[in-house]
Amino acid sequence: MRTQKLLALFAVALTALWVAGCSEEVDLTKSFQTSLAGVAITHVAPVDPATNTVAVEFALMDELGNSNLDPSQFTVRIYERSLRTGERELVFDSSAAEEVPAASGVLMAPQRGNVQPRPRPLNLAMVLDRSGSMNQNEQLTMEAAALRVLENLRNNDKVEVINVSTEVHVDASFRGANSQRLVRAITEPSIRHGWTKIFDAILQGAQDAANHQRRQVDRGQRRIAVFTVTDGEDNRSDVSVADVVNACVGLNAPVFIIGIADPSDPTDLQTSDLQQIADGTGGRLILTTDPLALSTILTGLQDAVGQPFVAEYESPHADEGEWEVEVEVERNGEVFRNGRRVVVAEEGE
């Protein structure tokens, strides 16, 4: 796996873009100067309601697409913003001098704590764009990259394959690495050509992943995510961007979108809606002008999401049931940020 990543590195370094800011505009004309480095928020949930302790899990990748990083080599800061008051405060800082506990629900200083990797079994929904705008080369390289994801699965990981054009087809629901049904769903899709119903497909994948998660014995540890590969804008979905974001936030389902841009005119790829979905769910939008980079991008994301870093701290807003969280990672002089809304499900949901 490492060798293949290194062989693809040159293509990735030239063509892949990890959008680091939550709301920054994407300048595709500068994509040759960017890398895969960035952070995503994969899961946020209370771990001890009695003390308002919250666990924030985040996926981190370096400029080579590697996620096996040493926590001592980066600093993590977590900010929260109350939706009631609008106040934003620093609540966690891994480099703080000492841990300062909360008093009466108000944090006088950021808490300090350890940040550690924590492997998680993964429910991954892969949404593959089969619309007419995807040329044969893009289709074949997308299929090869999706097959690499299957090869990279761990024992307890499960994948669903959704092929989408004018309709959304779940060609293989959640199965493990040795499933020939998954292979056929990738190499022999039940739908090709037509329009693009990508929002509906993303929502379908998130809901399916969450439903499968609830039925598993390890549901408390199992995490869900949606990977989407597309070359264009949605033009047929019944649901809106807001519908997708709200549902995915409630399900703790980050959406990672890989946009394949035309090298002759990369600005032709309409990214506004895709950016909103990725940012709003804590995922990332990655743009590339080279389909050959897809394998490195997808398996890099897969590794990062499957082994997130975890920070636990006492939240001043956990009892509100809904707030905003932002993760800031400083590494080698670079700062990466990602933020999203947090919704704590009522007991029994």
| 298 vs 1 pLDDT, higher one | 298
As a whole number, mean pLDDT of residues 271-283 equals 95
As a whole number, mean pLDDT of residues 187-192 equals 97
Q: Give the pLDDT band (50/70/90) at residue 33.
A: very low
Q: State residue 290's pLDDT score.
A: 85
* pTM of the entire predicted model: 0.88
Q: State residue 98's pLDDT score.
A: 56
| 102 vs 123 pLDDT, higher one | 123
| 199 vs 233 pLDDT, higher one | 199
Q: State residue 236's pLDDT score.
A: 92
| 3 vs 299 pLDDT, higher one | 299
| 346 vs 199 pLDDT, higher one | 199
Q: Give the pLDDT band (50/70/90) at residue 36.
A: confident
pLDDT at 105 over 60: no
pLDDT at 101 over 60: no
pLDDT at 284 over 60: yes
pLDDT at 12 over 80: no
pLDDT at 298 over 70: yes
pLDDT single digits (tens) 311-337: 999 999 988 889 999 999 999 899 999
As a whole number, mean pLDDT of residues 35-42 equals 89
Mean pLDDT (the chain) is: 86
Q: State residue 214's pLDDT score.
A: 96
Considering the four listed CATH numbers 2.60.40, 3.40.50, 1.10.3470, 2.60.120, the one that applies to the domain covering 40-55+62-113+308-343 is 2.60.40
Domain ranges of the chain: 40-55+62-113+308-343, 119-306
> How far are the Cα atoms of 4, 56, 222, 226, 284 from residue 124, in angstroms, in the given order?
22, 19, 10, 6, 15
CATH assignment of 119-306? 3.40.50.410
| 21 vs 67 pLDDT, higher one | 67
pLDDT at 149 over 90: yes
SS (H, E, C) the chain: CHHHHHHHHHHHHHHCEECCCCCCCCCHHHHHHCCCCEEEEEEEEEEECCCCEEEEEEEEECCCCCCCCCHHHCEEEEEEEECCCCCEEEEEECCCCCCCCCECCECCCCECCCCEECCCCEEEEEEEECCCCCCHHHHHHHHHHHHHHHHCCCCCCEEEEEEECCCEEEEEEEECCCCHHHHHHHHCCCCCCCCCCHHHHHHHHHHHHHHHHHCCCCCCCCEEEEEEEECCCCCCCCCCHHHHHHHHHHHCCCEEEEEECCCCCHHHCCCHHHHHHHHHHCCCEEEECCHHHHHHHHHHHHHHHHCCEEEEEECCCHHHCEEEEEEEEEECCEEEEEEEEEECCCCCC
Q: Give the pLDDT band (50/70/90) at residue 191.
A: very high
pLDDT at 69 over 90: yes
